[in-house]
Structure 1
């Protein structure tokens, strides 16, 4: 019997099989089905079409209105109303109303809803975030979400894998965002197409949980089916805090597991990395960046709105001012992170620097609201996509960066790293 990767073992266990092979089609039992205020209404309408008697398990569905919340217009209000009423009809345990909600991929781990060994689907492409905790999690379409809510099952094609062996330790101001941008720059936006990106090696223990969430979150930007990390002491400490008493299963890759490719990445050699328009693979370090004037900075999103990110932004902005004419928007990813930032005095630092702080929302990342770009404007953003027109006008430009780079750029008014200050 050939060895299996971490992802393949989780899929085999949930399909009730002793082994699976790359390319095999399986039907597997789900531990969690996730939807937000954009994708859930479509799924809910689909469920109505196949006369579903309701949901398979009211405890294993999470509905998080986070994209246009608080509602920006009538359409978004109707969408949220649809989700709210569905949650009420089906007594959904994990429905998060305004006031309890946060950006879904930061909120669910924080609430202890995602644990190692879980099989999770979400009607949002960044559902791959939970691989940071050793779960197999992946984004699906709203029809798959509907089927998942009704039956508790989903079809999968078992992915082959790429192994990323991490060594060394990140330098100051270099973070998980730089790691994943470096990888996407190296392999390309379809370099891991429908593959599992499996992270391993001595360097993993040097990464914070927030770094790991960021790296797993952007696996999809390399085309990955999922990103996944081994469950180590840091992950177990995180689970003790956020999912106390919850059972989970740790899966480890077999020593003879097969990988399509293997890469070794020395974390200590990485520098601050920026993805230029209009693809996440268009990466540059500051060795080859000229003066690029900007108009706006956004620090937040499911990629970089966690407490490590907010602290880093505050560290750079403390005692400094946002450059004249620059809009700097900071969005803590959940209410708990917002509260923590408030308790630590970080919000005061931001406001004194001339930034604005928003309630938790996906808002500007998808061109929703809370920071739309006008024609010709440039934004340095800690979000995950910089496609044409992603944050507003089709001739605006988005530069993807870490919180440290975003905050430094807000101070100088041009693309900068903290050492430039």
Structure 2
């Protein structure tokens, strides 16, 4: 009997044949903490008698959720983590690089065949490079920091096979919203989702990151794309390692196999207050919006900003709509800057911020007042996610967000 890509990764790490459903203690290749979850993880590390982290070089630390510090408590947390990093010899990216998940991939801190954990649910984004990556709680992270290993129940895998060519102004975000609507918010609970098929093999890394990022929105433990030439080209200059084959066997056992065709896929919008409530944009077209947020670890890459710029053209954003644009990292910001996108957005009426999470989790800036509506390229639209529990958040691609920002209402990007 063959193995899935996830079973192969765990088998390699454990040194024996491992199948889905088994519980194993597995060594870790990396552990990531940020300014929200890090302080509690460090506290748990100390409560467990931790004196030295398992390997300072494999602990990833950065600040992205509340930067620059937007409260006295945030500032204290930053100081606490800086002190811990210095004591432990951990390199701290601090406030300088951007959103944790984007930075981990840019710096080559997750790679094909590795197991990486993060004290953040969207850690599953690292599966875009063929790593098994998953989010864990702060207590588990305290254990991971001390021992460099963690217990896992090896997940079964749902295969999502995608075929067809995307229509104009339809892409990875529309696909993953459609998949989430199909599988449901808990349809992949404690399973991995393997994204495969000709559409995925032709998809750039930015799109793969978007798909894997939102695997958690279906309850999945991980999202993963088998590494190929696109993967290894991305890894060049980021990590010194020779390419190798890693894919599920033809006779591997999957929990489910689902197929998707994108040739006729319309732009998708997830309506409040759940990610799996995705509908074609035509169903909600004309809905008034007060704010548009283009950014986050889901859709804050240069490719997203470039698509938004194409939709914008020489037009301006609606003067009654607040438009917040936040690149996912310093690297993505510089790309946008060098190509003139930042200037274009500012002249069109947007507020462009330094790389960070921004309004995504509702804990920093750009919050919504009661009754307000935001169209966001981020990954969650739960009640109260971006401010008031009486506000509403719709999710979309960068193209749809840009088109809607121009008109001040949810708009089909193909019509702009």
Shorter-chain TM-score: which interval?
Answer: over 0.9
CA distance in 2, matches of 1:270, 1:299: 22
C-alpha deviation, 1:81, in angstroms: 1.1
TM-score (norm 2): 0.98
Compare 267-276 and 387-396 and name the one that shifted more: 267-276
CA contact (8 A) 1:117 1:248 kept: no
Q: Which residue is 1:98 aligned to?
A: 95
Q: Does 1:288 align with 2:287?
A: no
Q: Which residue is 2:350 aligned to?
A: 355
Secondary structure, counterpart of 2:57 in structure 1: coil
Structure 1 residues 129 and 87: alpha-carbon distance in aligned structure 2, compared to 1, 3 A threshold? same
CA contact (8 A) 1:134 1:250 kept: no
CA contact (8 A) 1:326 1:413 kept: yes
C-alpha deviation, 1:68, in angstroms: 0.2
CA contact (8 A) 2:215 2:223 kept: yes
1:38-62 deviations in whole A, cap 9, x for unaligned?
Answer: 0010010011111112111111010
1:321-356 deviations in whole A, cap 9, x for unaligned?
Answer: 111210000000111111111110000110111001
Q: Does 1:208 align with 2:204?
A: yes
1:6-405 equivalences under 5 Å are: 6-17=5-16, 19-93=17-91, 95-99=92-96, 101-243=97-239, 245-246=240-241, 250-405=245-400
| Alignment size in residue pairs | 416
Q: Which residue is 2:410 aligned to?
A: 415
CA distance in 2, matches of 1:248, 1:23: 29
Secondary structure, counterpart of 1:406 in structure 2: helix
Secondary structure, counterpart of 2:26 in structure 1: strand
C-alpha deviation, 1:267, in angstroms: 2.2
Secondary structure, counterpart of 2:279 in structure 1: strand
Give structure 2 stretches of 5+ with no counterpart. Answer: none
1:111-160 deviations in whole A, cap 9, x for unaligned?
Answer: 11111001001000000001010000000001111111111101000111
Compare 317-326 and 402-411 and name the one that shifted more: 317-326
C-alpha deviation, 1:24, in angstroms: 1.0
CA distance in 2, matches of 1:296, 1:40: 30
1:258-306 deviations in whole A, cap 9, x for unaligned?
Answer: 1111111112222110000000011110232242000000000010111
CA distance in 1, matches of 2:101, 2:168: 26
Secondary structure, counterpart of 2:364 in structure 1: coil
CA distance in 1, matches of 2:315, 2:365: 23
CA distance in 1, matches of 2:246, 2:128: 13
Secondary structure, counterpart of 2:117 in structure 1: strand
1:188-240 deviations in whole A, cap 9, x for unaligned?
Answer: 00111100101112222221110000000000001101000011111111011
CA distance in 2, matches of 1:125, 1:107: 15
CA contact (8 A) 1:388 1:394 kept: yes
C-alpha deviation, 1:246, in angstroms: 3.6
C-alpha deviation, 1:13, in angstroms: 1.4
CA distance in 2, matches of 1:144, 1:231: 28
C-alpha deviation, 1:248, in angstroms: 6.6
C-alpha deviation, 1:249, in angstroms: 5.3
CA distance in 1, matches of 2:284, 2:362: 26
C-alpha deviation, 1:250, in angstroms: 4.1
C-alpha deviation, 1:242, in angstroms: 2.7
